Amino acid sequence: NGLESALKNFQRRLDAMLGGRGGGGPDSSSGDQGSSGFGWYIAGGLLLLWLASGFFQVEASDRGVIQRFGKFTGVRDPGWGYALPWPIETVTKVNVSRVNSVEYSSRMLTADVNLVEIRAGIQYQLSDPVKLLFQVRDPEATLRAISESAIREIVGQSNLDQVLGVGRQQI
């Protein structure tokens, strides 16, 4: 059988690289039994290591998003878990308890045609890791653009006294 001879030839070369006896000695009845057994032990050990690499831990502040071949399959809560090792499944950990912030400044026109410079800081917390990973391309830029648009609308409808005075907190 051609496949069997190719496999034995590969095992002989592997055994020779690893410093084995190469088969064919006086205690080898079929020519390559020692090399064959050693090769299977290496393959089995590598398989076990690969399977063991699938264990993961999700911290209390995180959620683990599981993807199988790149497709979303589920969200894991904090604790230990197992996912089939890479490249079959991947686990992406997303911090859902940290308070993030985005700051920006911009010049805007008021309703009475005065130019004001607005500096704003927006704080947010991620609530859904799936939406973060799969539905928004750049979350911070999106948040910055939406917030600036909302503030521009409010400042554009207010006069300078409202923006700088009592209405500042409402804005």
Q: Per-residue pLDDT tens for 150-171?
A: 888 888 888 888 888 777 777 7
Residue 4 has pLDDT above 70, yes or no: yes
pLDDT at residue 63, as a whole number: 92
Pull the structure tokens for residue 67. Answer: 């993807």
CA distance 85 to 71: 15
Tens digit of each residue's pLDDT (9 = 90 or more) over 95-128: 988 898 888 888 888 888 888 888 888 888 888 8
Beta strands 55-58 and 89-95 are unpaired
What pLDDT was estimated at residue 65? 93
Residue that the structure tokens 């020779």 belong to:
16
What is the DSSP code (8-state) at residue 135? T
